[in-house]
Copies of this chain bind each other. A is one copy, B any other.
Amino acid sequence: MLAAAAEQLFEHGLAGVTFEKVALRAGASKMTLYKWWPTPGSLAFEAYFHAVEETLAFADTGDIERDLSSQLHSFVALLTGAGGPVIAELIGAAQSDPALAEAFAANYTRPRRRLAVETLERAKVRGQVRLDVDSEVVVDQLWGACYHRLLLPDQPLEPPFVDALLANLLRGIRA
């Protein structure tokens, strides 16, 4: 059912994810969907999370710069490919729909944020990131910066941007 919901989402956008259409595509009963998901939005976001989970997995080579770099390059490839229009539509719609916003946060952005924070906390234990750095803030300065270029596309979202994000944050920008 998650696979069917993800296919509907990528092909038809959020409007394509109704219990009726997903049930039809999955060959399941609508009742089953109602039982597991409170709203079509929560189904859509959980489906999106699972569809991109492998693509967005964090490597754990022991080198934080390398692991962040490979994950962020995958993330930007997703945003500049099939995932970009979908996620921009979701974030856009969430701004005027509190139930959708909560479903998106619970089923996609909070779990993804947690994975990123865990990666940064491991790097602290290994002595690669300063202990006084707030990992939550780093998430906004890496992934949030990418969302900014996706949603307000005044500058290009492309691979060199990822390298610049990491260089600025790891080295600092002071002369």
Chain A contact residues, CB within 8 Å of chain B: 88-89, 91-96, 101, 104-105, 109-110, 113, 124, 127-131, 133-134, 136-141, 143-149, 151-155, 161, 164-165, 168-175
Note all chain B residues with C-beta closer than 8 A to A89. Answer: 95-96
Note all chain B residues with C-beta closer than 8 A to A154. Answer: 105, 109-110, 113
Secondary structure dominating the interface of A: helix
15 contacts between A and B (CB under 8 A): A91-B151, A92-B95, A109-B152, A124-B175, A127-B175, A130-B175, A134-B164, A140-B146, A140-B161, A141-B145, A141-B169, A144-B152, A145-B148, A168-B169, A171-B174
Note all chain B residues with C-beta closer than 8 A to A144. Answer: 144-145, 147-149, 152
Note all chain B residues with C-beta closer than 8 A to A91. Answer: 92, 95, 151-152
Q: Please give the distance in Å from A117's CB to the nearest CB on chain B.
A: 10
Instruction: Indicate which residue in B128, B130, B174 contacts A129 across the interface (CB closer than 8 Å).
Output: B174
Contact B133 A140 (CB under 8 A): no
Note all chain B residues with C-beta closer than 8 A to A96. Answer: 89, 92-93
The CA of A128 and the CA of B110, in the complex, are separated in Å by: 36
Contact A155 B168 (CB under 8 A): no
Q: Please give the distance in Å from A147's CB to the nearest CB on chain B.
A: 6
Please name the residue on chain B nearest to A132 by beta carbon: B167
Note all chain B residues with C-beta closer than 8 A to A153. Answer: 101, 105
Instruction: Indicate which residue in B109, B133, B164 contacts A173 across the interface (CB closer than 8 Å).
Output: B133
Please name the residue on chain B nearest to A141 by beta carbon: B141
The CA of A113 and the CA of B149, in the complex, are separated in Å by: 12
- Supposing A128-B175, A169-B169 touch, asked if A147 and B151 sit within 8 A by C-beta, the answer is yes
